[in-house]
Amino acid sequence: MNQYRNPLLLIFASLSWGGVYVVGRYGLNEGSAVWLTLWRWGPGALIFFGYLAFFRRDTFSKIFSNFWILLLIAAIGIAFFPATIFLSVAETTALNAALYIAATPAIIMLFSALLYRSPIGKLGWLTIALGLSGTLVLLFRGDLSALASFSIAWNDKWAVISALSWSAYCLILPLR
């Protein structure tokens, strides 16, 4: 069973992330994007801080010494990113929102090279090319000639902002 643990965890993570788009689309019938974000992260945050308070008090000094960068990371990754996902699925399809997110690995790699001087090797460039190609094929439903007349629909603005906010979140993590 141990040999299957990591692949199963990756499948679970993918299903969980994919489910956010679908659940978000239907969850908006019950409340706002902010409401969904609070319910998504609020209970976990309370449990986590309870755990820290009772079992890991020594970590509070580390948290407070890095308070501002952790606040920025939390604001982007825990508040802004999920809220923009939920706003995006209110205005576009879950598939469109997920397709914009599919471009984030390429965005992160390119900006890591620019900001942190991280080299992109041959495999990295191949990964970027394949990832963006797959995203484009899905986005244009196999008709790459539609690329010439491509424009981002106003309805997709929150999906684009969501993808950019996730990229920003990943890019500021090394600062912690």
The two three-digit tokens of residue 91, written as one number: 């205005």
What is the SS3 assignment for 141?
A: coil
Q: Is residue 92 helix, strand or coil?
A: coil
DSSP-H helix ranges across the chain? 2-27, 33-55, 59-65, 67-74, 81-91, 94-102, 104-116, 122-139, 157-172
Structure tokens at 47: 């449990």
Q: Residue holding tokens 């609070």?
A: 38
pLDDT digits (tens, 9 = 90+) for 64-110: 899 999 999 999 988 899 889 888 888 888 777 878 888 888 899 99
Residue 146 confidence (pLDDT)? 74
Average pLDDT over residues 7-21: 74
Using one digit for the tens of pLDDT, what is the confidence trace for 18-47?
777 777 777 777 778 888 888 878 888 899
